[in-house]
Amino acid sequence: MVFRRRVVVTGLGVVSPLGIGKEKLQKNIIAGKSGIKPITRFDASLYPCKLAGEVRDFDPLNYVSEREANRTERCSRFALAAAQMAMEDAGMTEKDIEPEKTATSFGTTIGGLGFSLEQYDSMIEKGPLYIHPHTSSMILPNSLSSYVAIAWNAQGPSKTFSSACTSSFDAISYGFDLIKAGRADVVLAGGSETPLFPMFFSSLSLSKILSERGQDNGRTPRPFDAERDGTILSEGAGVLILEDYHRSMARGAKIYAEIIGYGFSCDAYRIRAPHPEARGIREAMQRALLSSKINPEKIDYIQAHGTGTKIGDVLETQAIKELFGQHAYRVKVSAIKSMLGHLMGACGVVELCASLICLSAGMVPPTINYEHRDPQCDLDYVSNMARRAKVDYFMANCFGFGGKNGALILENVDSSI
């Protein structure tokens, strides 16, 4: 008998401003807590925005040896930690995988750029021989998938994607395709980002992308709220274990959901502005529905990109209404960035981890800081409190610089058995 290959999520690991590990993240997301606090990583006194989503109390030695910690920078350490937690959550060790049929697929916007700038400063201050001897390998975005592959002896395809905020969705869709095509049975797919350093923070401040609420910690960003004024920059990592469905069933694995399709598009408009008619956003979601072979009315919940920017939230709402028609008003929509901030290339997978662990508890994540209705943003944003609900199908959105747009569709496996 020839089985149709299906792709399921059997494990997840997360490093986030709301906690390290799925238990802390689930507890804080369902409680509607914010991980946004005053910046401590550098002096932010001269910036209009003085807030960020920092990962606190992270000790890399809980996940890697001291030797490996000295050869990796923060972005890769986050990826290694999330990968270890995901494998443990999936109930797998290195002995449980076939190296040639195990792949690694990661996304990041800037990789080790922050560490690169630190080494440059050291070189200028002290001389050309005073930089870390492993700098050349540590700063490469490619190092994310490589370090994780080495840690787990994953000898299958290994890729790193850099496509702004959709990077981790590119990584997940690539892993999906590998399993569908029979080129892998297990894929460690995710993303990691550590953008909290002065140069990058300055550039986003000058672009007027960040909220300027100053010390208003816990009450910004405000996705879909009429008084939203920008997003908040954050760091973190997330990893999903993607696995062939029949393999997972044979080993008695728990399953969070099945990935049934995806869609991507490019606005081909401007680098820092989405198409004013939400053309690419709508097209990505439509392609995801076509890929999944389901009607829009099947979608119960949308994990929105929801950054809290004036234009972005209106366009995402507009695209949902145009694609879903009247059903748009029946779909539950959550903007998880209201609690986590914006993790750039890792935002998609970290928010997906949050959705999956909340939905597994029968809860839909809330959109916190929603206090003032915007007539242009008039959907059901699950405001301020998590909501108990049964979700059979849900869509996850990610959009980024350069007009990059991505959407994934997942199904509750119980509804397909």
CB 384 within 8 A of CB 218: no
Q: Return the residue matching tokens 């760091």.
A: 235
Burial class (CB in 10 A: 0-12, 13-18, 19+), 117: middle
Task: Tell me phi and psi for residue 394, to 5 degrees.
Answer: -140, 155
Residues of the chain with CATH 3.40.47.10: 7-250, 261-415
Report the distance separating Cα 148 and Cα 169, nearest Å: 18
Amino acid 217: pLDDT: 64
How far, CA to CA in Å, does 173 sit from each of 87, 156, 263, 407? Answer: 19, 16, 9, 10
Helix (H, G, I), strand (E, B) or coil at 378: coil
What are the pLDDT tens digits along the chain (417 aa)?
A: 456 899 999 999 999 999 999 999 999 999 999 999 999 999 999 999 999 999 999 999 999 999 999 999 999 999 999 999 999 999 999 889 999 999 999 999 999 999 999 999 999 999 999 999 999 999 999 999 999 999 999 999 999 999 999 999 999 999 999 999 999 999 999 999 999 999 999 999 998 999 987 566 678 999 999 999 999 999 999 999 999 999 999 999 999 999 999 999 999 999 989 999 999 999 999 999 999 999 999 999 999 999 999 999 999 999 999 999 999 999 999 999 999 999 999 999 999 999 999 999 999 999 999 999 999 999 999 999 999 999 999 999 999 999 999 999 999 986 443
Q: What is the pLDDT of residue 94?
A: 87
What gap in Å lies between CA 53 and CA 400, rounded to an integer? 19
- Tokens at 165, concatenated: 């905020």
CA–CA distance, 234 with 37 (Å, rounded to integer):
10
Distances (CA, A) of 353 to 240, 281, 359, 414: 8, 22, 10, 19
Q: Which residues does the annotation mark as catalytic?
A: 165
Place of tokens 């145009």: 322
Residue 3: what pLDDT? Answer: 65
Locate tokens 């689930």: which residue? 26
Please give the pLDDT value at position 415: 44
User: Nearest 5°: phi and psi at 249?
Assistant: -65, -40
Are 44 and 200 in contact, with CB atoms under 8 Å apart?
Answer: no
Place of tokens 């405000």: 222
Spell out the residues 6+ positions from residue 127 whose beta carbon is closer than 8 angstroms to its own. none
410: enclosing H helix or E strand: strand 404-411
Helices 279-292 & 310-324, crossing angle to 10 degrees?
40
Q: What is the pLDDT of residue 215?
A: 64
| CATH hierarchy code of domain 7-250 | 3.40.47.10
Record: fold of 261-415: Peroxisomal Thiolase; Chain A, domain 1 (3.40.47)
